[in-house]
Amino acid sequence: NAGVMQNPRHLVRRRGQEARLRCSPMKGHSHVYWYRQLPEEGLKFMVYLQKENIIDESGMPKERFSAEFPKEGPSILRIQQVVRGDSAAYFCASSPRQGASTGELFFGEGSRLTVL
Amino acid sequence: GENVEQHPSTLSVQEGDSAVIKCTYSDSASNYFPWYKQELGKRPQLIIDIRSNVGEKKDQRIAVTLNKTAKHFSLHITETQPEDSAVYFCAASKDDYKLSFGAGTTVTVRA
């Protein structure tokens, strides 16, 4: 099992450009979660998705950020018109069923976005 | 929303000594408390967790205690080894998927 795969691992963008981060969950996992980690801080919940559905996006900024998890293919976190404050590590996690308390929530290695 | 505070932010211990990290949470409805270890540039990995119906849990050199009345929980690492050096995060959850993380504790084990 390859684990949760995220790409790119590192992404550099200039202000105003778009960033697309991809996450392939572990095999058999249909629940995906995105978290953001700012430097020297803990992870902050952004969004929870199942296939073709956004379950909870309460942690997503209201503008410029969107997420999807299509029927086929990876989950994508999209950031439009990036600003320097978007520089962070973005972690994806997946689980076979809803919830972390099953102990089956696995994180990917993260995508580190740097905005110049 | 849930607010999790974690102390200390850095911790240096001599190899073989114990390390203790403490967290407090604000939402009394939280019922799941995991601890994650993150090495530099790597993904967070679950090392131990505890649910609100349990006061203490132990796994080899790692133990976690929970005081629901006081709304705090702690991680204890005994007989520390150099490979224990990492950033440790506590978290709390009531929704079962929306984890609220502490700011992290950088643990350095001196050989």
Q: Identify the pLDDT of residue A97.
A: 78
On whether the CB atoms of residues B17 and B105 are closer than 8 A, the answer is: no
Q: Identify the pLDDT of residue B98.
A: 86
Please compute the mean of the pLDDT values over residues A5-16 and round it to a whole number. Answer: 97
pLDDT 10s digits, B26-84: 999 999 999 999 998 889 999 999 988 889 999 999 999 999 999 999 999 999 999 99
Please compute the mean of the pLDDT values over residues B9-30 and round it to a whole number. Answer: 96
| A53: confidence class by pLDDT, cuts 50, 70, 90 | very high
Could you tell me how many CB contacts below 8 A there are between chain A and chain B? 61
- The percent of residues in chain A predicted with pLDDT above 70, rounded, is 96
| A1: confidence class by pLDDT, cuts 50, 70, 90 | low
Q: Identify the pLDDT of residue A73.
A: 93
Put simply, the answer to whether A108 touches B43 (Cβ < 8 Å) is yes
| A28: confidence class by pLDDT, cuts 50, 70, 90 | confident
Please compute the mean of the pLDDT values over residues A58-64 and round it to a whole number. Answer: 94
On whether the CB atoms of residues A10 and A111 are closer than 8 A, the answer is: yes
Q: Identify the pLDDT of residue B109.
A: 97
Residue A101 has pLDDT above 70, yes or no: no
Put simply, the answer to whether B4 touches A42 (Cβ < 8 Å) is yes
Q: How far is CA B91 from CA A1, A25, A42, B80, B95, in A?
A: 26, 22, 9, 22, 12
Q: Given CB atoms, is A41 within the 8 Å cutoff of chain B?
A: yes
More confident site: B25 or A39: B25
Please compute the mean of the pLDDT values over residues A59-82 and round it to a whole number. Answer: 96
CB-nearest to B43 from A42, A48, A110 is A110
Put simply, the answer to whether B43 touches A91 (Cβ < 8 Å) is yes
The burial class, CB within 10 Å (0-12 / 13-18 / 19+), for A67 is buried
Q: Given CB atoms, is A103 within the 8 Å cutoff of chain B?
A: yes
| A2: confidence class by pLDDT, cuts 50, 70, 90 | confident
CA diameter of chain A: 40
How far is the C-alpha of B92 from the C-alpha of B100, rounded, in Å?
5
**DSSP, res B16:** T
Residue A103 has pLDDT above 80, yes or no: no
Residue A44 has pLDDT above 90, yes or no: yes
Put simply, the answer to whether A48 touches B98 (Cβ < 8 Å) is yes
Residue ranges of E strands in B3-104: 4-7, 10-14, 19-25, 32-38, 45-51, 56-59, 62-67, 72-77, 86-92, 100-101
